[in-house]
Amino acid sequence: MKKKKKKEKNGTCYPDHFKWLMKNGDNLPDARLVHGTGWSISWNKRITHCWIELGGGDVVIDLTVNYIGRASEYYAKADVKVDRRYTKAEACKMVLKTKHYGHWEEEEEEEYDNEK
């Protein structure tokens, strides 16, 4: 049996941004839920994180740090690395399949990709 990685306690970025996408995604069809990593000043380390992109990736909304602005500035400031972007439909399927809001592991994503 493969040993599961011990997960660190997550904040509320995953459910908060998922719920934002569910509420606003129909009116903003280019909105994407984004999972990735970034440098946390308060934790002094790289963390998994979640945010929203609009405008084809030009604008970021991060409810956790109350940021709405240019993606280029956001990515540079926190040394952000994107793992994956999800449409509203894709995010819904992942939540239903995994029973959690994220960060979704590679194995979970591969299972989802194989079911498409």
Task: Provide the residue range defining the domain that includes 71.
Answer: 13-115
Q: Whole-angstrom Cα distance, residue 93 to residue 114?
A: 13
Number of helices and strands in the chain (H, E)? 4, 5
Dihedral, 73, 52, 40, 47 alpha carbons, nearest 10:
-130
pLDDT at 106: 81
In a domain, 103, yes or no: yes
For Cα atoms 30, 68, 23, give the angle at the middle one, nearest 5 degrees: 50
Q: Whole-angstrom Cα distance, residue 92 to residue 67?
A: 24
In a domain, 76, yes or no: yes
Question: How many domains does the structure of the chain reveal?
Answer: 1
In a domain, 1, yes or no: no
Task: Output DSSP code: residue 28.
Answer: -
In a domain, 21, yes or no: yes
pLDDT by position in tens, the chain (length 116): 444 443 445 589 999 999 999 999 999 999 999 999 999 988 899 999 999 999 999 999 999 999 999 999 999 999 999 999 999 999 999 999 999 999 998 888 777 666 76
